[in-house]
Amino acid sequence: MQLQAGDKAPDFKTKDQDGNVVSLKDFKGKKVALYFYPEDDTQVCTVQACNLRDNYAELKKNGITILGVSPNDEKSHKKFEAKYNLPFTLLVDDDLKIANKYGVWAEKVLYGNRHMGIVRSTYLINEDGKIHHIIKRALSKTHTQQILKGWGII
């Protein structure tokens, strides 16, 4: 069953780029943008992360916590964070449990070839832990604007 706005956001527990254990419950009472991306330090994922970095003050001003999720491990996340000076949390999903809970591990087609991968998407989760809005096609260059629009801020 596909998640929809109004559904309770599936909880998870994983590690971040610093080895800290993080759970969605830790962010109760806050607005969260849980964004899924395929891989650290690849061209499109880097553009997306840097768009969030460059607009981080605006997101923070509006009370939005950014959590990035990909199948990469802690070491990869730490390197990605350091290389691009990312001010937000990157979550490890190397077993794809979070991606599967949110339905973002799916078949994709690239140059006519079918393969499984992360569908670039973002879940906006409200202070009560419910899904407020889903960005099903996150655009790397304008992702911040999509998030702000999804929250009704712009």
Q: Which domains does the chain have, with CATH numbers?
A: 14-150 (3.40.30.10)
Residue 100 burial (CB count, 10 A): 13
Q: Which of 9, 22, 33, 45 is catalytic?
A: 45
Confidence label for 1 from pLDDT (cuts 50, 70 and 90): low
What percent of the chain lies above the pLDDT cut of 90? 94
Token pair for 77 = 């996340």
67 — phi, psi (to 5°)?
-130, 115
Q: What is the mean pLDDT of residues 30-40?
A: 97
User: Which pLDDT belongs to residue 61?
Assistant: 97
pLDDT surpassing 90 at residue 146: yes
* Torsion 21-17-24-57 (CA) sign: positive
pLDDT surpassing 90 at residue 112: no
User: Which pLDDT belongs to residue 111?
Assistant: 84
User: Which pLDDT belongs to residue 109?
Assistant: 82
45 labelled catalytic = yes
pLDDT surpassing 70 at residue 6: yes
User: Which pLDDT belongs to residue 31?
Assistant: 98
Q: Where are the alpha helices (DSSP H) in the chain?
A: 43-54, 56-61, 74-84, 97-102, 143-150
User: Which pLDDT belongs to residue 82?
Assistant: 98
Report the chain's mean pLDDT, rounded to a whole number. 96
